[in-house]
Amino acid sequence: MIVNAKMGANSGVTTGGKLFLETVLKNVKKATELANIPTDIYEFLKLPKRVIVVSIPIRDRDGNVTNYIGYRVQHNNALGPYKGGIRYYPTVDLDEITALAMLMTYKCAALSLPFGGAKGGVACNPKSLSQEEIEKITRRYTYMISDLIGPYIDIPAPDIYTDARVMAWIMDTYSQLKGRQVPEVVTGKPVYLGGCEGREEATGFGVCITTREACRVCGIPLKGARIAIQGFGNVGTHTALHLANLGAKIVAVSDSKGSIYNKEGFNVEKLVAHKKNTGTVLGFPSAIQISEKELLQLDVDVLIPAAIEGVITKEVAEKIQAKIITEGANGPTTSEGSAVLQERGIFVVPDILANAGGVTASYFEWIQNLQREHWPRDKVLKMLEEKMVKAFNDVVETTRRMELGMRDAVMVLSVSRVALAVQTLGIWP
C-alpha cells in the first residue's frame, strides 16, 4: 500500500468509520440473539471475507502525482455474488466501507435478492476534481480490482458522488481488459449502455413507497403530509419528486451548502431545476434558510435523512418531532439515537429496507444484461414496488409476531436468511 503525504487526514486505513462499524455489528449481534442464531455464525459474519486496498496514483492537470486510496470490501457471498456501490468521498475509510458492505449483505437478504454484500470507495473529493481526473481514478481503481470483480463474483454500482458515467467507465475498463463487452459486471449504467430504465430514480422511488406504507401503518394520510428531507442528491431528489407526486408537502430540504424551509411546501420540480442551475438548494424563491439542526427537529410528519451516516445521534433523536423516519441514507442513526427513537415510539423505516430500491433495480439491470433484454420503465417500477411492499409487510409482520421495533425486525429477518445459508454451506476448506 502506497500512501502519499498529500492525502493528509484522509489517507490510509483511518478509523473515521469506527463508530459506524460498531453500530452495524451491534445490530447484527442483537439480531442473532433475538433469533437464537448460534454464536458461531456471528463469529463468521463479524468480519468481511475479503478486503482489497489499492493505491490509485493520478497525474493531475498540473503534472503532479496524487496518490489516492481505494477500497473494495467483500463481506459475504453465501446468497449470491457480492453486490454494492462505490462511493467517492473525502472521509472514506476502511471501517466505513466495511460497515457499508455488511449493510449490503443484509439489505440484499431483506429483499430476498440472490446477492451477497460488498462496498467500495475512494478517498477523494470529486467536487474539486475535473472529469478527466475522475475518469483516471475510476479506470485505475477498476484495473486494480478487476481480477476480483465480475458478473458472477462482485458487481459494483453507484453510491455517493458516483453516477452512471462512472459506471460506464468501470464497464469499459473491465471490458477492455477482458477483450469483450461485459455490461453485466456493473449496474447503474446509462440506459443507452445497458442500464435499466428507472434505475437512477429507483432508490428515491423505494424511499417514497416505504414512506407511503409507513404512513398507512401509522394512520397518517400521505396527501398533505409534511416532509423534511436531509440531503438533495440522487436519493433526496427522487424521493421528493415521487412523494410530491403522491400529494405530500416537501417543506424542507438541505444539501451540503445549507437547508431551506417553506411551510406551504415546495414546487419540487422547480426546486430540482434550481439546484441543477445554481448547484445548491439555497436561494430558492419563497424559501427561508434554516440550519441543518433545525431541519432535523422540524415539526413534520416524516423526516427523511438521505445524506450520510451518523446524523441522528442521541441528542438529535431526543428533539425530533417527526412521527415517521424513513432512512434514505445508509446508517444515518447511531445506536444511541436508535434506542431513543424506539423509546419515544417514533416509527422508523430502517435503511436496509427504506433504500433497498436502488439495489433491487440493480438486480433487474443485471438480469436484463445477462439475458440481453431491455424492459420499459413501467415494468421496472411496478416490479420494484411489489418487492418493496412485500419486504415492508414481512418486516411489519415480524414486529408484531416478535414484539420488536422495525430495525430489529428487519435485522432478524435478514440475518436469519444469511445465517441459514452460511450454516448450510458450512466452513470449507
The residues assigned a catalytic role are 119
CB of 138 or CB of 187, closer to ligand GLU: 187
408 binds ligand GLU per the rule CB under 6 A: no
CB of 239 or CB of 355, closer to ligand GLU: 355
User: CB–CB of 189/195 below 8 Å?
Assistant: yes
Q: Which of 362, 398, 399, 414 binds ligand GLU (CB under 6 A)?
A: 362
23 binds ligand GLU per the rule CB under 6 A: no
Q: How far is CA 70 from CA 53, 62, 139, 302, in A?
A: 6, 22, 12, 36
Query: x/- binding map, residues 117-156, to ligand GLU, per CB under 6 A?
Result: ----------------------------------------
What is the per-residue DSSP string for 131-199?
A: HHHHHHHHHHHHHHHGGG-BTTTEEEEE-TT--HHHHHHHHHHHHHHHTS--GGG-SS--GGGTPPTTH
CB of 240 or CB of 306, closer to ligand GLU: 306
CB of 188 or CB of 252, closer to ligand GLU: 188
> Facing residues of 347 across strands?
324
Residue environment code for 287-308, b if the CB has 16+ CB neighbours within 10 A, otherwise e = beebebeebbbbebbbbbbbbb
83 binds ligand GLU per the rule CB under 6 A: yes
157 binds ligand GLU per the rule CB under 6 A: yes
* Residue type present at position 111: L
Would you call the peptide bond into 156 cis, given omega within 30 degrees of 0 as the criterion?
Answer: no
238 binds ligand GLU per the rule CB under 6 A: no
Query: x/- binding map, residues 173-212, to ligand GLU, per CB under 6 A?
Result: --------------x-------------------------
User: CB–CB of 95/121 below 8 Å?
Assistant: no
Q: By CB under 6 A, which span of 2-10, 80-88, 286-294, 421-429 interacts with ligand GLU?
A: 80-88
* # chain residues binding ligand GLU, by CB under 6 A: 12
Residue 205: Cβ-neighbour burial (10 angstroms; 0-12, 13-18, 19+): buried
Q: By CB under 6 A, which span of 270-278, 351-359, 392-400, 412-420 interacts with ligand GLU?
A: 351-359
CB of 301 or CB of 351, closer to ligand GLU: 351
Q: Which of 27, 259, 334, 355 binds ligand GLU (CB under 6 A)?
A: 355
What is the per-residue DSSP string for 230-269?
A: E--SHHHHHHHHHHHHTT-EEEEEEETTEEEE-TT---HH
28 binds ligand GLU per the rule CB under 6 A: no
Residue 245: Cβ-neighbour burial (10 angstroms; 0-12, 13-18, 19+): exposed
- Find the residue with minimal CB distance to ligand GLU: 85
- How far apart are CB 83 and ligand GLU at their closest, in Å? 5
358 binds ligand GLU per the rule CB under 6 A: yes
Q: How many Cβ atoms from other residues are within 10 Å of residue 311's Cβ?
A: 19
CB of 157 or CB of 268, closer to ligand GLU: 157
* Residue type present at position 53: V
Interface residue list for ligand GLU (CB under 6 A):
83-85, 107, 157, 159, 187, 330, 355, 358-359, 362
